Amino acid sequence: MEYLIFILFLLAFFWILQFVQLMLLSNEDFVGRHDKILWVVIFICVFPLAPFAFVMYKIARLSMNERD
């Protein structure tokens, strides 16, 4: 039981960390006009998977910027 609480605490911390990083990005950091608000909706509606998807999105954007 203690392990479950610890894992849930880590996941909640990771979710908050990624959400804060999303909020710190400016609108110009995204490709589309409404991308930031869509990410907020994803974070709220699909909260267990959203931080992992956002990490993958950041990695993909970084690799796209390196190619340019």
**What's the pTM value of the predicted model, to 2 decimals?**
0.86
Q: What does the pLDDT look like over 30-64, one tens digit per residue? A: 888 999 999 999 999 999 999 999 999 999 988 87
Each domain of the chain, given as residue ranges in start order, spans 2-67
SS (H, E, C) the chain: CHHHHHHHHHHHHHHHHHHHHHHHCCHHHCCCCCHHHHHHHHHHHCCCCHHHHHHHHHHHHHHHHHHC
Q: What does the pLDDT look like over 2-39, one tens digit per residue? A: 999 999 999 999 999 999 999 999 988 888 899 999 99
